[in-house]
Amino acid sequence: MLVSKEFIFHAAHYLPQYHGKCERLHGHSYRLRITVAGEPDVEGMICDFGEMKKIVKRQVIDRLDHTLVNDLIPNPTAELMTWWMWTELEHELPLAEVRLWETADNIAVLTAADAEKAKKMGAVPEGFALTAEIQKWRNEQGWGCERCQHADDVQVLDD
């Protein structure tokens, strides 16, 4: 069984290895969904939502909210951000999936199977976090140009 908790945070980033609009500094309101797997315990719970919130807040949200993500993750694509989040959370939560919305329609998904595969390979290879789902979507879209395609989705950082 799976349970999820969602979070919103706001952060700035730029993509140094990308050529286009997104190599310049800009911000996003990120939406993050953390999903854990397990069987309900004697209390009928897989994971206490309150406990889950505390862990994700401490390990991820407080470290990224209203920051320049590049300070922690040198090439902060949505894909590589999910990988970083996974490594920060995997020792404290029975992770099944990390799903990050960079904009309403640009989403990166890292699953337990992806993480397992990367570990077997001994390291995170360059560009690893492009899951099959994202790759398929990119191919369907013929995506290869502007990364954050919709100017409307790139939001100005508030406060």
CB of 149: closest distance to Zn ion in angstroms?
11
User: Is the Cβ–Cβ distance between 11 and 78 less than 8 Å?
Assistant: no
Least CB distance to Zn ion at residue 131 (A): 18
Report the interface residues with Zn ion, using CB under 5 A. 22, 148
Q: Is 148 a catalytic residue?
A: no
Distances (CA, A) of 82 to 11, 49, 78, 156, 158: 14, 20, 6, 22, 23
* 11 vs 96, beta carbon nearer Zn ion: 11
What value does the CA radius of gyration of the chain take, rounded to a whole number of Å? 16
Catalytic residue among 51, 66, 133, 146: 66
Annotated active-site residue in 88, 97, 102, 148? 102
Active site annotation includes 10: no
**Three-state secondary-structure class, residue 110:** strand
Nearer to Zn ion by Cβ, of 18 and 128: the residue is 18
Among residues 13, 22, 47, 88, the one annotated as catalytic is 22
Q: What share of the chain is helix, strand, coil (3-state, %, to 5)?
A: 35, 25, 40
> Least Å distance between CB 26 and Zn ion?
6
With respect to Zn ion, which residue has the nearer C-beta, 26 or 57?
26
- Number of alpha carbons in the 13 Å side-chain half-sphere of residue 98: 26
What residues are annotated to the active site? 22, 66, 102
